[in-house]
Amino acid sequence: MVKIYKVPAIKCEGCASTIERALAGLSGLTATQVSLPAKEVRVEFDPARLNEREIGRVLTAAGFPPAA
């Protein structure tokens, strides 16, 4: 499954690295791509092992809450 999160707080490469590190530990996540110009995080994951709410929770805990 693919999900794109709008994340207005993304400002720089450091933000992108922080997001990638935070998401890297999630079981079931297969790919992460952060777009600085679009302020988006694109994730690919196995919905049998991970859900959208958990991904959003991890983004928020890292300081980058997704837009509603």
Domain covering 2-61, topology = Alpha-Beta Plaits (3.30.70)
Tokens encoding 3: 């999900």
Q: Which of 33, 23, 30 is nearest to 54 (CA)?
A: 23
With contact defined as beta carbons under 8 Å apart, do 9 and 34 qualify? Answer: no
Evaluate if residue 68 carries a pLDDT over 90: no
The pLDDT value given to residue 2: 97
The pLDDT value given to residue 48: 97
Evaluate if residue 7 carries a pLDDT over 90: yes
- pLDDT, tens digit, 9 for 90 and up, residues 9-64: 999 999 999 999 999 989 999 999 999 999 999 999 999 999 999 999 999 999 99
Exposure string over 54-67, b if 16+ CB within 10 A, otherwise e: ebeebbeebebebe
Q: Identify the burial level of 10 via C-beta atoms within 10 angstroms of its C-beta, where 0-12 means exposed, 13-18 middle and 19 or more buried.
A: buried
pTM: 0.94
The pLDDT value given to residue 54: 97
Residue ranges per domain, the chain? Answer: 2-61
